[in-house]
Every structure is written in C-alpha cells, then in structure tokens.
Structure 1
C-alpha cells in the first residue's frame, strides 16, 4: 500500500521537492526570451497585440468572418478571438518546444542528480505567465472598448487546469520521444498548426455543421476556449461537466506522461 501511494505521489512530490529549481528555471526562461532586444519584456505585451491585429484583419476584414448569427463589431471580434488565442498559445508553445527540450539541454543529462523531469514544468510555467499577460490585455480591452467586466474571471484557474495538466503530460511524452525520434519535431509542428484551425478559435463552435461538430468535442482545447470566452466576455459559468471530466483526463495523461518519461530517461545519456 505504501509503495502504491508513493507511485501515485511521485509526480507531485518531485515537483514539490524541486520547486525552487523549477522557479529558477522558469524565471530564466522568461527573462531570456527577449534578452538582447531593445524593448525587452515589453515584447511580451506587444507580441500578442500585434498577432491579434493581424488575425483580426485577416478574418474580420479580408475573409469578412462574423461571430455568431448576428455578427459582431471588429473590436468585439478581436477580443473574442483573443480568448482562443491565449488558451491555444499555452498548448502550442509548450508542445512545439518539447521535442527539442532534452536535446537542447544535453549537458544536464550527464548529471545524475539533476531532475530532468522538471524541464516540461518550467516551460509550462513560462507559457502560462505569457498567457496571463494576454489575459490582462483582454480584461483591459473589455473594460475600455466594451465597458464589460465580469466577476466570473475568478474561474480562470479552474478553466485552465485541464489544459495545463494535459500539456504537462504530453510534454513529458514528446520531450522523451524527441531524444529517440529526431523527426518528431516536424510532425509536431504540423499537428500543432492543424490543431489551431481545428479548434474554435477563429470561429464559433455553433457555426460548425452539426455533422462535424461532434468531432470538435474530442478536442479538449475546444472546451477550454469556449469556457474562457464564457467567463471573460459573457459572464457565464464554466462547463462544470467538462471541468470534472477534463481535469480527470488531464491527471491521467499527466501520470502516463510522467511514468513514460521516468522510464525512458534512463537511455537519454546513451543516445545523446
């Protein structure tokens, strides 16, 4: 019984045990992201704003997309779009970096006492930090342009929890596979790009034909995106059914990813 309990607690005990090291790596990752640039950390605000302008122009002006049956103003369209982008960017940033995560830090592989399993954790923290900046911009935009502020944004940690757990688990798997399968980063790049358009980021889920809508419900990012729009823009409660099932699924994938990583990391030094 004690052995089983130890196995179950392993991911969390490892994270807690190495929390100071994780924070240190996360800070370094955040600070070095724009190191050497003239504007520095200001880019963490400018980058999402500039991408938002580009996507808004392409979809609302060029393609003349509208949100829902009645349509929305370009400003409202941009803010709604921003919710989806912020959630997707957490997943995309971490998963895109995962295949090269261990290879780019090969010097730590030879160090027996270094906990390699913390690397996906600090990358997730860095991605969430950048997303929080986007959410701050979103809140300011809602207040300034739409005169809207909903108290339901307090549910943000709950809404993001399934996505964070899922991302951590997949990052452990892909960072491990990236050591042994050098071409996986190309496949991941294609899948991440495809997922952006297969998630209801640039369009409402209600606009998807009913015959195909069921396939979108297999995409966990769809639920997170919809819930973010609900709590930020519409003042709605999250989908409690999804939060429960999504969190359970996230924990399962996280545990699978952790044990896969711990089992395969023994051969990292031989390959690298």
Structure 2
C-alpha cells in the first residue's frame, strides 16, 4: 500500500516528466517512417485479416449462440486480438522499463515505479485508437451491442494490472539476467494459443476447458468476446481469479524490486 501511495504521489509530482516520456515514446515509434501512425492500424489489421481468412469458415459455426451474421467471427476475433495487444504491450514495455530509462534512473531522484505510468498511457492510447476503429466497424455492420460495452472496463483494468505485475517482476529480473526477457517473449507466444482468442472456448473438451481456465487471461478475454458478440453482461466475480493472480505477482515484484534495488542500480 505504501508503494502504491508513493506511486500516486509521484505521478502527480512528476506529471511533467511522465508527459514528456509518453510523448517521446509515441513520436519515437514513427520517426523516419513513411506511413507513420498508420502502422499502428496496419499491423493488427493484417493479423485480423489473416486469422479471419484462415479460420472464419471453420470457426463461424462453432461460435457461442446462434450467430447468423457473416461478420460474427470478425467481431469475435477483433475483441480478442485488440485486448491481447493491450496486454502484451503493457507487459513487454514494463519488462524493459529499467533498462530503457537507465540514464534517467541514475541521474534523477524520483519514485522509479512512476515509470510504469507512461507505459500504460502509451499502450492505452494505442488501444483506444484500435478500439475506435472497431466501434466504427460495428456501427457499419449494424452490430453495435449498446452500452453494455462499458462492462468491458473491469476486464480491461484486470488485464492491465496483470500485465504490469508480470512485466515489473520480469523487468527487475531482466536487469540481472537478460534471458528473462527472451523467456517472457516465448511464454507470451505460448500463452496466446493457450487463450481462446482465435478459437471459441466452447470447441474444447470439458477437461481441456477446465485446464485452460487456469490461464488468468482467459476470463477477461472471454468476457469481452461475449460483450461484443452476444451483448452478454459479464459478472465481476469472473475477474476474481485474474485479480488475485495479479495481486500475488505484484507483491512478488515489489518485494524483488525493494530487495534488489541497490544491486539493480549497479547492473544498469
């Protein structure tokens, strides 16, 4: 709780630095690029098109509920992939936050966990751009689910907190052993296929479904898919497991950060 309070106070006190880092990160992504910010749209759009073309005919009939719309699978996969992209960006950017800002950490006195705020700001901005395009698509195909979309917020918050926790723990260890970063990247690739993003969880057998539900990403992702595909209201208790895992990993990350902080500065 004290670390959280310190981070909140530091966020307000160093808001100018947070804004500068966030603006620099957004500009740096597209410096020297001909298409610039369009890459933000083109990269996930290409993935969505590939998966839709490959799996739409196979998976359409297996989607939950009576889905007659030709765009049902597109709705399903967009909800999953856009949300997954948010989680991956938060996790991977947090993983490298100490190495990326090594000079700033050594030269300026400030609560170092404040560096997590620009990560969320930039990832959130990218997510909102993609989500806005998704909403336009839903309106064009007459598939807007209504204000039930606001129920996506708790699931998104749970995923962001989980991504921050995993990324922070990996980020601390990554400073001492660079293999941690590579291991996390491989783990995220495996986690993608262990999460029902391109396939509905209903196609799995009972024992596989029970196994997959141990994955803390599954419940938030399926909540969002249900919202945008069937307009179903998710329950908050569906997020208890994800929030609990995030809390445990966050405690481990803060403990490792405090315990190893002195050595961490030497390795930067």
Which residue of the other structure, out of 106, 110, 116, is the alignment partner of 2:106?
110
Question: 1-side partners of 2:96 and 2:144: how far apart?
Answer: 41
**1:236 corresponding residue in structure 2:** 232
* Alpha-carbon distance change, 176 to 7 in structure 1, aligned in 2, over 3 angstroms: closer
Question: 2-side partners of 1:124 and 1:32: how far apart?
Answer: 16
Question: 2-side partners of 1:248 and 1:9: how far apart?
Answer: 20
2:32 match: secondary structure: coil
- State TM-score, norm by structure 1: 0.86
Which residue of the other structure, out of 115, 118, 132, is the alignment partner of 1:119?
115
**2:254 corresponding residue in structure 1:** 258
- State TM-score, norm by structure 2: 0.87
Question: 1-side partners of 2:94 and 2:54: how far apart?
Answer: 30
Which residue of the other structure, out of 59, 73, 86, is the alignment partner of 1:65?
59
**2:82 corresponding residue in structure 1:** 86
Question: 2-side partners of 1:43 and 1:72: how far apart?
Answer: 32
> How far did residue 244 of structure 1 move?
4.4
- 1:77 and 2:73 matched: yes
- Listed as ranges, the matches of 1:158-177 within 5 Å are 158-177=154-173
- Listed as ranges, the matches of 1:147-166 within 5 Å are 147-166=143-162
- Listed as ranges, the matches of 1:1-272 within 5 Å are 6=2, 9-60=5-56, 64-66=58-60, 67-68=62-63, 75-272=71-268
- 1:130-149 Cα distance to aligned partner (Å, 9 max, x none): 12222112211111124434
Q: Is the 8 A contact 2:80 2:224 kept in 1?
A: yes
> How far did residue 122 of structure 1 move?
1.6
> How far did residue 86 of structure 1 move?
1.2
1:65 match: secondary structure: helix
Q: What's the C-alpha RMSD, in Å, of the aligned pairs?
A: 2.4
Question: 2-side partners of 1:218 and 1:228: how far apart?
Answer: 18
Q: Is the 8 A contact 1:31 1:41 kept in 2?
A: no
> How far did residue 224 of structure 1 move?
1.0
> How far did residue 109 of structure 1 move?
3.1
> How far did residue 251 of structure 1 move?
4.0
